[in-house]
Amino acid sequence: MTQPAPAITPEIVAEHGLSPEEYDRVLAAIGREPNLVELGIFSVMWSEHCSYKSSRIHLKKLPTEAPWVICGPGENAGVIDIGEGAGGKKLAAIFKMESHNHPSYIEPYQGAATGVGGILRDVFTMGARPVANLNALRFGRPDHPKMKHLISGVVHGIGGYGNCVGVPTVGGEVNFHKAYDGNILVNAMTVGVAEQDKIFYSAASGVGNPIVYVGSKTGRDGIHGATMASADFGEDAEEKRPTVQVGDPFTEKLLIEACLELMASDAIVAIQDMGAAGLTSSSVEMASKGGVGLHLKMDDVPQRETGMTAYEMMLSESQERMLMVLKPGKEEFAKAIFHKWELDFAVIGTVTDTGRMVLEHHGEIVCDIPLAPLADDAPLYDRPHVPTPKQPELTNVPETTDVAADLKTLMGTPDIASRRWIWEQYDSQVGADTLQTGGDAALVRIHGTNRALAMSTDCTPRYCYADPVEGGKQAVAETWRNISAVGATPLAITNCLNFANPQRPEIMGQIVGCLDGMAQACRALDYPIVSGNVSLYNESKATGGGSAILPTPAIGGVGVIEDLNKAVGIGFRRTGDIVLAVGERAGHLGQSVWLREIHGREEGPPPQVNLRCEKRTGDFIRTAINAGWITACHDVSDGGMAVTLAEMALKSNIGVLVSEEQPFGVAESFFGEDQGLYLVTVCDTCLADFLDAAGRADVPVDPVGRTIKDRIVFELEGSDHQVTLAELREAHEGFFPNLMGADAALA
């Protein structure tokens, strides 16, 4: 470096997030004291984000294999076989979900926007054209003073980025809970489609091959605040202040097109996007995976600002950048493509056989460390964990006095109200292949075919909090159920594991529990995990609602429907149809939205997921949809059967008369959140076949009622309760506009 290297003090080590023990490992790995650049590289690679040091031993328990899995966790994204596309080409779906929680709390617009940008790059890095974005959002109490600003910023950021890059945002979920008051969650998922023989991986190889930097220039974006504050750099501190990462979706769009154009040739050996701690993690991962060394010339890195140090360049989180290894002699060819798209292109180094990472800046070697220890000697912790105590069974649950009135209330509550205000701000149609948004799963046609991808993101954090194992099972099962409910075959999942501080045994217990539940569900449903992300330390003292977030293992599922004309939606088709409940029922009210919203009680164990029943029922539903028997289908979730019925009714403005005797009490029957349960309508001529098949599959079917015009009527013993669809719609549609108001657009 041009300035004299600062001595590495214990303070500097601490500011880099390394414990004294971890620093000792650094010393052992390189056999001497590191300089600041080297320390920075170790701190990034051994951070929780890159090393998964607290979660790795538990993540290993997750099932990741199936015959249709082409590439599981470890690459930029997971890859599965989705059969043939136009012209008989074998296609793959490439997908992943990732968190951008902390940046979104600090600057919601840019935090969410760059979250979308980052996950898009993870997917097109591997050769896929992104075809769908989804997002799983958790906010605090709607009336929290900061929340409107956060909601508005996040939604505008997701829309601003996704709309501009031209990838449809087709699905997602939003929850509100006070536990997120000081730490919202923004999890973004991208699904892309690639030809199977054009999938690109990140392992660098070929000694002497050029290492190429493309995309935007590097600035001082997002360099870790605490590190920067150590101010051993000279010059004035203000100029070096870390800045919020700003997304540039226009550049991302150009980067997508340029990369895909280059990928159509055979010029690329390996490619990796620059995500968190961009140049460090991308270069180290590419070299480590390929078992090679690299030599980078920092002077050749395209720079947006003057006087940048090697340390800053290695730790910068500037967006819209990629690192590639090209085949020798392909530089000019590749450069012409990137220049056509008006993007920076620079050869910044070469692949070596030294196994070392060597950085050169201003004619000096500023870093020379062995690569192997960065991965092999990374800390691995089996942190102490205590299981979450079981919740006591519910007692003294009151019966509902007016099921229709309770339903109307629930329809306007934050977790159930219409999300129209959000999704109308996302371009869900660009690509002209979007078949369904909303409903149980989003459907996007595989371009040029009669087949479609079905996608859903799910997690019920209150279940995970009450019982991590059941909650983990439920999150996986619900995506599987939602994909089945449109008629598609669920194939694999990605996940974004959001938890609080893993150094607290009770939090580590939540992590271990959720992963255990997820693994059980994945195994039982033949539904492997192919990619994922872990976000820990999601807690804030400033919440006023408890410092840790609810455990939130968000799951994103992907499936395929072979004939898109067979897919069904949630809306009732016509009046006079019989409505049936399909699946095992339990009338389970513990942790239900009804109990929380009507009675203010967040109590009881969450509903159990019986994975054998889940599989049996879902397989039957899918078969029945593809046989053409089912005309509408919706799974039961938040708010129970009553809310499910209301959503089916509002979708098509056709009501329902509930006239059949139910197996449990009124509240239990209509507001219980039983798992693996679906409501369907079946065409008249198919009813016999349907019931016969259900019997053979050992799947229980209960009659519920019949579709009617314009209202929902509960004809129960002793009393009738009813509510018009107009009233329900008003309650359902009102929440977000009322909350956000006109001036929300400014935030």
Partner 1 sequence: MKTAVIVFPGSNCDRDMAVALEQVTGRAPAMVWHRDTDLPDGTDFIALPGGFSYGDYLRSGAMAARSPILRSVADAAGRGVPVLGVCNGFQVLTEAQLLPGALMRNAGLNFVCRTVPLKVENSQSLFTASYNAGEEINIPVAHHDGNYFADAATLDRIEGEGRVAFRYADSVNGSARDIAGVLNDAGNVLGMMPHPERAIDRAHGGTDGLRLFEAALGVLA
Partner 2 sequence: MKVNVYVTLKPGVLDPQGKAIHHALEGLGFGGVADVRAGRFIELDVADDTSDADLDAMCAKLLANTVIENYRIERP
Catalytically active residues, by annotation:
49, 100
Least distance from partner 1 to the Cβ atom of residue 450, Å: 9
Residue 424 or 730 with smaller CB distance to partner 1: 424
| Contacts of partner 1 in 563-602 (CB under 8 A) | 564
Six-digit token string for 736? 């977000």
Burial class (CB within 10 angstroms; exposed 0-12, middle 13-18, buried 19+) of 48: middle
Helix or strand run (H / E) with residue 519? helix 505-525
Residue 132 CB-density burial (10 A; 0-12 exposed, 13-18 middle, 19+ buried): buried
Helix, strand, coil: what percent of the chain each, to 5?
Answer: 40, 25, 35
CA distance 160 to 113: 7
Cα–Cα distance, 41 to 316 (Å, whole number): 11
267 binds partner 1 (CB under 8 A): no
To partner 2, the closest distance from the beta carbon of 746 in angstroms equals 5
Contact partners, residue 346, CB within 8 Å, separation at least 6: 212, 213, 214, 300, 301, 302
Kindly identify the residues of this chain, within the stretch 322-341, that bind partner 1 according to CB under 8 A. 341
**Strand locations in 244-379 (E):** 268-273, 293-297, 321-326, 344-352, 356-361, 364-370
Q: Which span (186-194, 422-430, 471-479, 681-689) binds partner 1, by CB under 8 A?
A: 422-430
- State the minimum distance, in angstroms, from the CB of residue 683 to partner 1: 19
For partner 1, the binding residues in 469-488 under the rule CB under 8 A are none
For residues 706 to 745, the per-residue mask of contacts with partner 2, x marking binding by CB under 8 A and - elsewhere, is ------------------------------------xx-x
Answer yes or no: are the C-beta atoms of 604 and 589 closer than 8 Å: yes
Q: How far is the CB of 258 from partner 1 (least distance, A)?
A: 10
432 binds partner 2 (CB under 8 A): no
Tell me how far, at minimum, the Cβ of 645 lies from partner 2, in Å.
Answer: 39
State how far the alpha carbon of 95 is from the alpha carbons of 60, 70, 77, 127, 185, in Å. 20, 12, 5, 11, 19
Pairing label, strands 578-582, 701-709: antiparallel
Among the listed residues 342, 399, 661, 717, the single contact to partner 1 using CB under 8 A: 342
Binder of residue 431, out of partner 2, partner 1, none (CB less than 5 to 8 A by kind)? partner 1
Q: Is 164 in the site for partner 1 (CB under 8 A)?
A: yes
Distance CA 263, CA 118 (A): 19
Cα distances from 170 to residues 443, 453, 733, in angstroms, run: 8, 11, 19
The Cβ of residue 541 has, within 10 Å, a number of other Cβ atoms equal to 7
Minimum gap (Å) between residue 256 Cβ and partner 1: 10
The item of partner 1, partner 2, none sharing an interface with residue 249, based on CB under 5 to 8 Å by kind, is partner 1
Binding mask 240-259 for partner 1 (x = CB under 8 A): --------xxxx-xx-----
332 vs 743 by CB, closer to partner 2: 743
Q: Return the number of the residue (104 or 428) whose C-beta is nearest partner 1.
A: 428
CA max distance for the chain: 89
Q: How far apart are CA 58 and CA 45, in angstroms?
A: 19
| Rounded least distance, CB 747 to partner 2, Å | 9
Residue span binding partner 1 (CB under 8 A) among the ranges 72-80, 289-297, 431-439, 679-687? 431-439
Q: Is position 746 an interface residue for partner 2 (rule: CB under 8 A)?
A: yes
Q: Applying CB under 8 A, which residues contact partner 1?
A: 156, 159-160, 163-166, 248-251, 253-254, 341-342, 423-432, 435, 445, 564, 742, 745-746
Q: Applying CB under 8 A, which residues contact partner 2?
A: 742-743, 745-746
